[in-house]
Amino acid sequence: MGNKGRYGRFGGQYVPETLMPPLIALEEAYDRVSRDRSFITKLETYQREYAGRPTPLTYCENTSRELGCRVYLKREDLLHGGAHKLNNTLGQALLAKYMGKERIIAETGAGQHGVATAIAGALLGIPVEVYMGSEDVRRQALNVERMNLLGARVLPVEGGSRTLKDAVNEALRDWAANVYSTHYLIGSIVGPHPYPRIVRDFQAVIGREARAQVLAKEGRLPDAVVACVGGGSNAIGIFSAFESDPGVRLIGVEAGGTGERAGEHSATLCLGSEGVLHGALSLLLQDVHGQIEATHSVAAGLDYPGVGPELAYHASLGRIETATVRDEEALAAFSFLARREGIIPALESSHAIAHARKVAPELGRDGVLVINLSGRGDKDAGEVMARGGGNL
Ligand SMILES: *Cc1c(COP(=O)(O)O)cnc(C)c1O
């Protein structure tokens, strides 16, 4: 495959031979639809008329006054479904339709990607089955109900730790057995090539819009763009538009959880080491034997032991700055935004907000800061209240 699908040494296709033909077919189909006017027009129409794009870039008056620089939020919380995930599931479901697939499978941890896949499957009339660790099925009952309401079938996975990584293994097994009928819809910029590229391209709409919007409002590029990092799709989605602008700081914020010991965090870029997980070479959280470590975050969507190879590459070059934010800081940022701006952020996005509060003083009064608000926080209200409402 030459350098295709490599980001420096990261990326690649570390999969059993049986998965190579479908990966090659997927890449060919994706290259074809990327040049197909009817596909592009259809996707743009769904994005506009169904999903609600473009999402606004909101200037935050109160936050700006308090933090001492000009703060903008890119409002992916206003996308249909309440998060950026639909950008990807809509694109891939349409791709599956163009490939003539009769069935979509996905894996989900917190359930958000499963719900976004179920939405896209219902819209395009393709049956959806979602693998989910049985422990997650128990913890995320509301999202299981949502998937059922949307007509998707949830398949509980009993193996391993009964969480996300076990669901991914099960989905890969299913795909290998049913490649001709089935599209495997991966939810972040992870997995074997060409997935990291496909998901990045479908999420890049966030950055294209944000760049044009900030230029229109400020007449210049921002000084810094901040996004939270789980697998890395909302971060790469907004960063991609500013990659070639050396004056724009790109800051990826990971879940610092409760501490730096194994099992206390999900800070893969900051604390991980090189290894292969789910078909790609990247950074991951593993022990000395290469076994995947337990992870933790108050934000279920950040609770993943790997990260996209493209982000690992940019971080290794220093193009992307990385930081961690602890559970308590994220909870405080959750309340901060809710009370200052009347916007309840997802706990995932609250990590970006918490770090933006630290970066703002470095930028000065005329500094321009863009935060990617990857999702809304209604889903997290119970968790936050149970922890005392977040400390201001
Ligand atoms: C899933 C999710 C994330 C983490 O996924 P990325 O691929 O890192 O973007 C972040 N924010 C929200 C709201 C999510 O639902």
Q: For the full predicted model, state whether its pTM sits above 0.95.
A: yes
Residue pair 104/117 in contact by the 8 Å Cβ criterion: yes
Query: Is 38's pLDDT higher than 80?
Result: yes
Query: Is 162's pLDDT higher than 70?
Result: yes
Query: Is 202's pLDDT higher than 90?
Result: yes
| Confidence band for 391, pLDDT divided at 50, 70 and 90 | low
Q: Taking Cα atoms as reference points, which of 184, 188, 175 lies closest to residue 109? A: 188
- Give distance in angstroms: CA of 17 to centre of ligand 1: 30
- Give distance in angstroms: CA of 2 to centre of ligand 1: 31
Helix (H) or strand (E) holding 257: strand 249-257
Compute φ and ψ for 375, nearest 5 degrees. -165, 170
Give residue-wise pLDDT tens across range 107-142.
999 999 999 999 999 999 999 999 999 989 988 899
Mean pLDDT confidence for 191-219 = 98
* Amino acid identity at 63: T
**Residue 334, by phi and psi: left (phi above 0), alpha (psi -120 to 50) or beta?**
alpha
Catalytic residue, from 69, 80, 84, 314: name it: 84
Q: Which atom of ligand 1 is nearest to the CA of 230?
A: 8
Asked if residue 229 has its Cβ within 6 Å of ligand 1, the reply is yes
Distance (Å) of CA 369 to CA 64, 65, 78, 131, 326: 9, 13, 20, 38, 21
3-state SS, one letter per residue, for 214-232: HHHHHCCCCCEEEEECCCC
In this structure, the chain runs to a length of 392
Q: How far apart are CA 41 and CA 184, in angstroms?
A: 23
Output 43 or 163, whichever has higher pLDDT.
43
Q: Which residues pair with 286 in a beta bridge?
A: 292
Which pLDDT score is estimated for 209? 99
Residue 84 a catalytic site member:
yes
Give residue-wise pLDDT tens across range 278-294.
999 999 999 999 999 99
Residue 270 a catalytic site member:
no
Residue pair 203/84 in contact by the 8 Å Cβ criterion: yes
Q: Which atom of ligand 1 is nearest to the CA of 203?
A: 9
Helix (H) or strand (E) holding 130: strand 128-133
| Confidence band for 389, pLDDT divided at 50, 70 and 90 | confident
Bond preceding residue 16 cis, omega within 30 of 0: no
CA dihedral in degrees (342, 345, 349, 351; nearest 10)?
Answer: 80
| Confidence band for 349, pLDDT divided at 50, 70 and 90 | very high
Lowest mean pLDDT among 125-134, 331-340, 380-389: 380-389
